[in-house]
Amino acid sequence: MSERLQKLIANAGYGSRRWAERLIEQGRISINNKEAKLGDKALVIDKVTIDGRLIDLQRYAEEETKVLILNKQAGVICSNKDAEGRKSVFDFLPKNSRWVMVGRLDLNTSGLLLFTNNGDLANKLMHPSSEVDREYAVRVLGKVEDQHINQLTSGIELDDGFAKFHKVTFAGGDGANRWYHVVVREGRKREVRRLWEALEFKVSRLIRIRFGDIRLPDNLRANESEYLKPKQVQSLLNSVKLKA
């Protein structure tokens, strides 16, 4: 069954539909050696190239959408390859599927990471327009006053634009270090750390504990993964208006 070319490219995990549409408009995509045009349809077995490079439209073509959660350990990278030979999150995933990572965590951040075999789902969950909550537990060094919380939730101008926490909740601790739970709705690089650092606080530990309605299970050990239940997968699909 043929489908719109941009949808097939998104389903295969190469980028969003809008991104594929731009490449088509720029004449950078071809189908079976002919330049593609907006509105063109294709089959997953057709020869499709981007900038002359053949892509695999079947690499995530499976009957059922699968989603994995991984409890990433600090010090593990989110890239497939590393010149320094460090462990990657992909080293800890089942080998029976090709996995698309939903967002990233920086080297020193631990906690919840999602992976899926559905490229379209991954792209929609990561897109800012979806406004999916990302909740972190953060340990902060320094005395946090009400005025600081107000600034963090009202918004602060960072070097890449305006940013804020949608919610900040005190989560315990005494002495110099205190724990807070914070919620952001974008996946900007080091956003949580940079917001605290803008007010001269030091983040000594950062753990992602929730993505949308999916929470990090208490019994999931570091670098262990598990499949989401079908109802949880369906909830994620519904949240971005996708069919199973």
Catalytic residues: 106
The runs of H, that is alpha helices, within 13-157 are 17-25, 119-126, 146-154
Residue 39 makes CB contacts below 8 A (sequence gap 6+) with 4
Q: Measure Cα distances from 24 to 30, 36, 69 in Å.
A: 8, 6, 34
- Pairs from 235-243 (Cβ < 8 Å, separation ≥ 24): 236/67, 236/121, 236/125, 236/212, 237/65, 237/121, 239/125, 239/130, 239/132, 239/212, 239/213, 240/121, 240/124, 240/125, 240/130, 242/118, 242/120, 242/121, 242/124
CA dist 28 and 230 (Å) reads: 38
Radius of gyration of the chain (CA): 20
